[in-house]
Chain A
Amino acid sequence: MKDLALEALDAVAGRGVSYADVRALEIRDRDVTTKNGKAGHVSSSESRGIGIRVLASGCWGFAATDDLTRDGIARAAALALEIARSGTAARKHETTLAPEQKYEATWASPCAIDPFAIPVDRNLAVLLAVDKELRRNPAVSLAEASMHFERRRQVFASTLGSLIDQTRHTAGAGFSALSYKDGDIQRRSYPNSFGGQYQLKGYELVDELRLVENAPRVAEEAVALHTADKCPEGEFDLILDSSQLGLQIHESIGHPIELDRVLGSEANYAGMSFLTLDKLGSLQYGSPLVNVVCDARLEHGPGLGTFAFDDEGVPAQATDIIREGRFTGYMTSRETAAAVGETRSNGCMRADGWARLPLIRMTNVSLKPGRQSLEEVFGADHAIYMETNRSWSIDDKRYNFQFGCEIGWEMRGGKRVRMLKNPSYSGITTEFWNACAAIAGPEHWTLWGVPNCGKGQPEQVMGTGHGASPARFRKIRIGSAYGG
Chain B
Amino acid sequence: MAAERFDAAEIFGQVVDAARALGVTEIEAMMGGGSHALTRFANNAIHQNVAEHDRHLSVRPVVDGRTARAGTNRLSREGIRAVVEQAIAITRLNEADPELLPLADSAFIPRVDRFFGTTAHATPRERALAVAEAIRVVEAAGQTAAGIYSTGESTLTLLNSRGLTATHRETMARFSITAMSVDSSGWAKASACHHADLDPVALARRAAAKATESQAPRELAPGRYTVILEPAAVLDLVGQMFGDFSATAIRDGRSFLNDRIGKKIFGDNVTIRDDASHPLQSGPPFDGEGVPRRPLMLVERGVVREIAYSRQAAAVSGVAPTGHGFPLPNELGEAPGNIAIEGGDSGVEKMVASTERGILVTRFWYIREVDPYEKIFTGMTRDGTFLVEGGRVTAGVRNFRFNESLLEMLSKVEALSPAVRASGEEAGDMVVPAMKVRDFNFTEATRF
The residue that A482 contacts in the complex, of B46, B74, B376, with Cβ under 8 A, is B376
- Interface residues of B, Cβ cutoff 8 Å to A: 1, 4, 36-56, 58, 67-74, 83, 86-87, 90-91, 93-95, 97, 99, 123-125, 127-129, 131-132, 135, 144, 146-148, 150, 176-178, 180, 185, 187, 222-224, 252-254, 256, 258-259, 329-331, 365-373, 376, 378-380, 382, 399, 401, 403, 425, 441-448
Q: Is the interface of B mostly helix, strand, loop or mixed?
A: strand
A238 within 8 A of B: no
- Interface residues of A, Cβ cutoff 8 Å to B: 33, 35-36, 38-49, 59-67, 75-76, 79-80, 82-84, 86-93, 119-121, 124, 128, 141-142, 144, 178-180, 183-185, 187, 263-269, 271, 274, 355-357, 390-397, 399-400, 402, 404, 422, 424, 426, 428, 457-458, 480-484
| Chain B residues whose C-beta falls within 8 Å of the C-beta of A42 in the assembled complex | 67-69, 90-91, 94, 329
Cβ distance B310 to chain A, nearest Cβ, rounded Å:
14
A484 to B223, CA, bound (A): 7
Cβ distance A193 to chain B, nearest Cβ, rounded Å:
12
A484 to B148, CA, bound (A): 37
| Chain A residues whose C-beta falls within 8 Å of the C-beta of B330 in the assembled complex | 40-41
Cβ distance B51 to chain A, nearest Cβ, rounded Å:
5
Cβ distance B35 to chain A, nearest Cβ, rounded Å:
9
> Given contacts A393-B367, A402-B378, A422-B371, is CB(A90)–CB(B128) below 8 Å?
yes
Q: Which residue of B lies closest to A88 (CB)?
A: B128
Cβ of A268 and Cβ of B366 under 8 Å apart? no
Jot down 22 A-B pairs with beta carbons below 8 A, ordered by A.
A42-B68, A47-B56, A63-B50, A64-B50, A64-B52, A86-B49, A87-B46, A90-B45, A90-B131, A90-B132, A91-B45, A120-B90, A124-B94, A178-B254, A183-B373, A356-B52, A404-B368, A428-B446, A457-B176, A458-B38, A480-B443, A484-B222
The residue that A400 contacts in the complex, of B40, B367, B401, with Cβ under 8 A, is B401
Cβ of A426 and Cβ of B329 under 8 Å apart? no
A93 to B99, CA, bound (A): 61
Cβ of B144 and Cβ of A264 under 8 Å apart? yes
Cβ of A44 and Cβ of B42 under 8 Å apart? no
Cβ distance A131 to chain B, nearest Cβ, rounded Å:
11
Cβ of A124 and Cβ of B366 under 8 Å apart? no
Given contacts A44-B87, A90-B46, A264-B180, 15 further A-B contacts (CB under 8 A): A42-B67, A46-B83, A47-B56, A82-B125, A83-B124, A84-B49, A92-B45, A141-B253, A185-B254, A265-B48, A393-B379, A395-B382, A396-B380, A402-B401, A484-B442
Q: Is the interface of A mostly helix, strand, loop or mixed?
A: mixed
A424 to B370, CA, bound (A): 9
A68 to B40, CA, bound (A): 26
A141 to B445, CA, bound (A): 38
| Chain A residues whose C-beta falls within 8 Å of the C-beta of B4 in the assembled complex | 67
Cβ of B329 and Cβ of A268 under 8 Å apart? no
The residue that A120 contacts in the complex, of B93, B178, B329, B446, with Cβ under 8 A, is B93
The residue that B370 contacts in the complex, of A48, A89, A404, with Cβ under 8 A, is A404
A458 to B36, CA, bound (A): 9
> Given contacts A66-B55, A141-B252, A481-B403, is CB(A357)–CB(B48) below 8 Å?
yes
| Chain A residues whose C-beta falls within 8 Å of the C-beta of B443 in the assembled complex | 426, 480-481, 483-484
Cβ of B254 and Cβ of A62 under 8 Å apart? no
Q: Which residue of A lies closest to B207 (CB)?
A: A268
The residue that B52 contacts in the complex, of A63, A265, A402, with Cβ under 8 A, is A63
The residue that B331 contacts in the complex, of A40, A67, A80, with Cβ under 8 A, is A40
| Chain B residues whose C-beta falls within 8 Å of the C-beta of A357 in the assembled complex | 48, 50
Cβ distance B268 to chain A, nearest Cβ, rounded Å:
23
The residue that A65 contacts in the complex, of B37, B53, B67, B376, with Cβ under 8 A, is B53
Most A Cβ at <10 Å: residue of B51, B52, B55: B52
A62 to B38, CA, bound (A): 10
| Chain B residues whose C-beta falls within 8 Å of the C-beta of A86 in the assembled complex | 39, 46, 49, 123-125, 127-128
> Given contacts A90-B44, A121-B93, is CB(A64)–CB(B53) below 8 Å?
yes
Cβ distance B163 to chain A, nearest Cβ, rounded Å:
25
| Chain A residues whose C-beta falls within 8 Å of the C-beta of B177 in the assembled complex | 268
Cβ distance B332 to chain A, nearest Cβ, rounded Å:
9
| Chain B residues whose C-beta falls within 8 Å of the C-beta of A187 in the assembled complex | 372
Cβ of A179 and Cβ of B253 under 8 Å apart? yes
Cβ of A66 and Cβ of B73 under 8 Å apart? yes
Cβ of A89 and Cβ of B125 under 8 Å apart? yes
A199 to B42, CA, bound (A): 34
Q: Which residue of B lies closest to A355 (CB)?
A: B52
A79 to B52, CA, bound (A): 10
Q: Which residue of B lies closest to A397 (CB)?
A: B448
Cβ of B150 and Cβ of A428 under 8 Å apart? no
Cβ of A44 and Cβ of B382 under 8 Å apart? no
Cβ distance B220 to chain A, nearest Cβ, rounded Å:
14
| Chain A residues whose C-beta falls within 8 Å of the C-beta of B95 in the assembled complex | 38-39, 124, 128
Cβ of B72 and Cβ of A45 under 8 Å apart? yes
The residue that B74 contacts in the complex, of A46, A184, A390, with Cβ under 8 A, is A46
Cβ of A46 and Cβ of B128 under 8 Å apart? no
| Chain A residues whose C-beta falls within 8 Å of the C-beta of B86 in the assembled complex | 44
Cβ distance B338 to chain A, nearest Cβ, rounded Å:
21
Q: Which residue of A lies closest to B399 (CB)?
A: A395
> Given contacts A89-B132, A424-B370, is CB(A43)–CB(B69) below 8 Å?
yes
| Chain A residues whose C-beta falls within 8 Å of the C-beta of B125 in the assembled complex | 82, 86, 89
Cβ distance B320 to chain A, nearest Cβ, rounded Å:
23
Cβ of A268 and Cβ of B38 under 8 Å apart? no
| Chain A residues whose C-beta falls within 8 Å of the C-beta of B253 in the assembled complex | 141-142, 178-180, 185
The residue that B124 contacts in the complex, of A82, A120, A263, A396, with Cβ under 8 A, is A82
Cβ distance A232 to chain B, nearest Cβ, rounded Å:
16
